[in-house]
Structure 1
Amino acid sequence: MNYETGSIGHEERLALPGEPAPSGRLRKIVVAVVVVLALVLAGWLLFGRKHAAPQTKGPEQAPLVTVVVPGRQLVDRTVNATGTLAAKRDLPVGVAGEGGLVTRVLVEPGQWVKAGQVLATVDRSVQQQTAQSLAAQVAVAKSDQDIAQAELERAQALVDRGFISKADLQRKAATRDAAAARVRVAQAALRETQARNGRLDIRAPAAGLVLTRQVEPGQIVSAGSGVLFRMAMDGQMELRAQVAESDLSGLHVGSRATVTPVGSTRSFPGSVWQLSPVIDPQTRQGTARVQIAYDPALRPGGFATATIVGGAGQAPLLPNSALQSDDKGSFVYIVGKDDKVERRNVKVGEVFDTGITIASGLDGTERVVQSAGGFLSPGQKVKPVVRAATLKAS
């Protein structure tokens, strides 16, 4: 081999036999390429192997998944219903007597009244005159009775002396008795008139809350005037909830309930006091009447919802994070045979602060994925880590 060294300016080149000698710039490029390739190789050796290594591993790389075996717990069975608020005992109040001109109305809706309290008064000027006349007749009859009694006593003192016969004595006794009877008749007539006058006033039939008023002073009222006031006896309210036939059979008198008026964030405790003995053949529903203590927020005629506790039963209880849903409905992932993920469609029951009951789809012995189900897919192999079930229905 012949090496020829030459120089152009300050550069040197190395010439192969039969070829012109390369320039110094070309040599630098070759060296740079070699360095880059060396760096790439070194980087692959350091990092590429580390990232590629897991791809060669087998079953040990299955993801860890926390699962829970819920078992079955005693949970309340509840029924959701809607209905209308009303007075438990709605008392219509009208004219009990002969009526007349209303002179005063003494109450307004929303006021509490006692049993027998006057709600409105009716003019009684004519009736008062009649009562005074009858009272005078009673006084006259009593005077006649007193005279007859005195004559009888004098006759009894003289009969033993022979001045008056026994027949005269008997007549005077009969006169006295007739006078006493006339007194009783006059008194009865007076009491009747007084009772009629008392019924002129419109009175509360029981203690309670006035709901409506349909009368004003100056109005002429009579027995045919209809309802003038409506009252809620003792102020007790109720929700007349419409319940499906299948749910009504599981309720009983005394079942606890929670009532929430529409538009309100407040809920009121109550209890079922009456269940409908019949089912509407059109809607297939019955009425559950839920008694509620009075509160100004409970307005008769308003709409409300109720949650009624209809008994207790056994059901699995899962944390909220275990439940998922899609267009096919609610489901959970369980770890089944060979530690592979399986989808299980479920029907959700009651929802509590601590979790969700499963009405159907699980028997409580399955290993249910507690969370991160959204990152799994059916058939995927996982490493289950069982966590003890600590949820309680409340």
Structure 2
Amino acid sequence: MNYEAKMFGREQRLEYSGEDLPVRRSRRWIWIVAAVLVVLGGAAIFTMGKKDAQAPKAGAAAKGDANNSQMPTVTVAVPGRSNLQTVISGTGSLAAKREMPVGVAGEGGLVTRVLVEPGTWVGKGQILATVDRSVQAQTASSLAASVRVAEADAKLAQANLDRAQSLVSNGFVSKADIDRLTAARDQASARVRVARAQLAETNARNGRLDIRAPEAGLVLTRQVEPGQIVSAGSGVLFRMAMGGQMELRTQLAEADLQRTKPGSSAQVTPTGSTQVFSGTVWQVSPVIDPTTRQGIARIQLSYNPALRPGGFASAQIITGSNSAVILPQSAIQSDAQGNYVYTLDAKDQAVRTPVVTGEVTDAGVSITQGLSGNERVVMTAGAFLNPGQKVIPQSLKKQ
């Protein structure tokens, strides 16, 4: 029995150790796998929860980036106020301010010499050309001799009268003789005056044979040569500019003429030249041409060789100045309601601001109403904005 029992017990141990060991090992692996799956599942759940928590933040950030990318970037500037000059432009012809045509003032004759050329400065009464006076000189000599004869006769008549008056008291000469001698003396004196007047007239005529400058100034043209026969009907022989002063006779529109006043300063530029000359408006035409609706403003200029009468020139007349906001043309928009610009408020939102425009110059367009100069004005891209639209401002860099 013991043997059997031992054998039985051995068999039992063999049976337990041989059949139950694999079962235990398989169960162990099942638990290990289950534990790994639990760990992995927890990690996945944690990761998904974290992603779900970060998703709203990422979505909000993405939405903010999208909004920023949709806002337009515009150029803005604070224009301030500038001193703007009111300038009127015009064109016209250069001329002498006081042109003097010089011709034959006397009888005329054969021109013997011409003493000046165009561009010569002359004084008042200076001889410009001489005319042959050989015949007139002989006439003057004859009259001078007549004067001497008349003076001798008058001297003799006076002596006879004095002699007769000394004899009246002795009774040798009658009163009738005294009266006769007195009349003879008076006649002789009158003939002297006549002879002298005739001589003076002849000398004056001879003096007018020479062509002289009526006033001091600049000779502009010369239309006479030696050997030419001239007379009162010969026309203009010389043209002069009194004092050498020039002017520009500029044509202005009726509205511009109303704003132009004598004394206004002007800048004149001759055609084909870059040289600018300063002048002053000295006369504004009192009439308007009914055909062209224009008038003439005359700008006085000092003499300069570059200012040639008859030439063409342009003028910039300064009629005044005022303080105004000046904007580039790109900043001003227009529609059926009028002109306007866009300004930015404190939140960088576009605000439509109506404006009234004034003068247009090289510097820009002046704004007479609507802006103080302290606003942030949209300089570009204003045509693509809407009131209240938020923008990204970019300051304009000053050159």
> Could you state the TM-score of these two structures normalised by the residue count of structure 2?
0.74
Q: Which runs of 5+ in 2 are unaligned?
A: 1-57
8 Å CA contact 1:343, 1:378 repeated in 2: no
Which whole-Å CA distance do the structure 2 matches of 1:131 and 1:231 have between them? 32
| 1:358 paired to 2:366 | yes
- From 366, 376, 390, the equivalent of 1:381 is 390
Q: Please give the alpha-carbon distance, in whole angstroms, between the structure 2 residues aligned to 1:275 and 1:61.
A: 57
Question: How far apart are 1:169 and its partner, in Å?
Answer: 1.8
Query: Shift in Å at residue 159 of structure 1?
Result: 1.8
1:121 to 114, 124, 130: 130
Question: CA-to-partner distance for each residue in 1:168-207, whole Å, 9 max, x for gaps?
Answer: 2222121111100000000000111111111111111111
- 1:305 aligned partner: 314
Counterpart for residue 144 of structure 2: 135
Q: Displacement, 1:281?
A: 1.0
Residues in 1 aligned to 2:249 and 2:160: alpha-carbon distance in whole angstroms? 73
- State the alpha-carbon separation in 2 of the partners of residues 376 and 325 from structure 1: 9
The structure-2 alpha-carbon separation of the partners of 1:247 and 1:61, relative to structure 1 and needing over 3 Å to count, comes to closer
Quick one: which of 102, 109, 112 aligns to 2:121?
Answer: 112
Aligned partners of 2:332 and 2:341 also within 8 Å? no
Corresponding residue number in structure 2 for 1:158: 167
SS state of the match for residue 311, structure 1?
Answer: strand
Letter of the 1:269 counterpart: S
Which residue identity does 2:77 align to in structure 1?
Answer: V
- Counterpart pick for 2:271 among 254, 262, 266: 262
- Distance (whole Å) between structure 2 residues aligned to residue 359 and residue 146 of structure 1: 93
In structure 2, the residue matched to 1:29 is none
Q: In structure 1, how many angstroms separate the alpha carbons of the residues matched to 2:378 and 2:165?
A: 110
Q: Percent same amino acid among aligned pairs?
A: 54
Task: Find the counterpart in structure 2 of residue 26 from structure 1.
Answer: none
Larger displacement relative to structure 2 (171-180 or 362-371): 362-371
* Aligned 8 A contact 2:73 2:394 in 1: no
Write the letter of the residue equivalent to 2:122: V
Describe the shift of the 1:275–1:79 C-alpha distance in structure 2 as closer, same or farther (beyond 3 A): same
Give the whole-Å Cα distance in 2 for the aligned partners of 1:122 and 1:362.
Answer: 75
Confirm or deny: 8 A CA contact 1:210 1:229 kept in the other structure. yes
Report the Cα offset of residue 53 of structure 1: 8.1
Larger radius of gyration: 2
* Residue of structure 1 equivalent to 2:184: 175
**Paired positions, count:** 332
What is the correspondence of 1:25-40 to structure 2 with a 5 Å cutoff?
A: none
Work out which of the residue numbers 194, 218, 238 in structure 1 matches 2:203: 194
Task: Check 1:375–1:350 CA distance in 2 against 1; reply closer, same or farther (3 A cut).
Answer: closer
1:110 maps to amino acid: G
> Do structure 1's residue 334 and structure 2's residue 342 form an aligned pair?
yes
Note the aligned Cα RMSD (angstroms). Answer: 3.5
Checking the alignment, whether the CA contact within 8 Å between 2:113 and 2:130 is kept in structure 1 is yes
Q: CA deviation at 1:366?
A: 7.5
Contact 2:74 2:381 (C-alpha < 8 Å) held by counterparts: no
Whole-angstrom CA distance in 2 between matches of 1:153 and 1:317: 99
Confirm or deny: 8 A CA contact 1:65 1:382 kept in the other structure: no
Aligned to 1:291: 300
- The CA distance in 1 between the partners of 2:382 and 2:281, in whole Å, is 46
SS in 1 for 2:220: strand
1-side partners of 2:308 and 2:261: how far apart? 26
* Displacement of 1:359: 5.5
Q: Please state how far the C-alpha of 1:129 moved relative to its aligned partner.
A: 0.6
Q: CA deviation at 1:147?
A: 0.5
Partner of 1:248: 257
Quote the residue 2:96 is aligned against.
87
* Cα pair 2:245 2:301 within 8 Å, conserved: yes
CA distance in 2, matches of 1:359, 1:156: 102
Cross-structure match for 1:55: 65
Q: Which amino acid is the alignment partner of residue 213 of structure 1?
A: R
Mean Cα displacement is larger for which, 376-385 or 135-144? 376-385
Q: Is the 8 A contact 1:68 1:370 kept in 2?
A: no
- Aligned equivalents of 2:392, 2:287: Cα separation in 1: 56
- For residues 333 and 238 of structure 2, the distance between their equivalents in structure 1, rounded to whole angstroms, comes to 55
CA distance in 2, matches of 1:375, 1:77: 28
**What displacement does 1:164 show?**
1.7
Alignment CA distance shift 1:82-1:327 (3 Å): farther
* Inter-partner Cα distance in structure 1 for 2:242 and 2:331: 49
More moved, 151-160 vs 223-232: 151-160
Q: Do the aligned partners of 2:252 and 2:296 also contact (CA within 8 Å) in 1?
A: yes
- How far apart, CA to CA, are the structure 1 residues paired with 2:333 and 2:312? 32
Contact 1:335 1:368 in 2 (8 A): yes
Q: CA-to-partner distance for each residue in 1:183-237, whole Å, 9 max, x for gaps? A: 0000000111111111111111111111111111111111111111111111110
Kindly state the Cα deviation for residue 150 of structure 1 after the two structures are TM-superposed: 1.1
Partners in 2 of 1:359 and 1:160 — Cα distance?
108
Contact 2:79–2:325 (8 Å) recurs in 1: no
Say which SS state the counterpart of residue 85 (structure 1) adopts: strand
Corresponding residue of 2:377:
369
Change (3 A) 1:96 1:70: same
Shift of the alpha carbon at 1:63? Answer: 5.1
What amino acid maps onto 2:385 in structure 1? P
Amino acid across the alignment from 1:324 = S
What residue number does 2:44 align with? none
- The correspondence for 2:330, drawn from 324, 329, 335, is 324
Matched with 2:84 is: 75
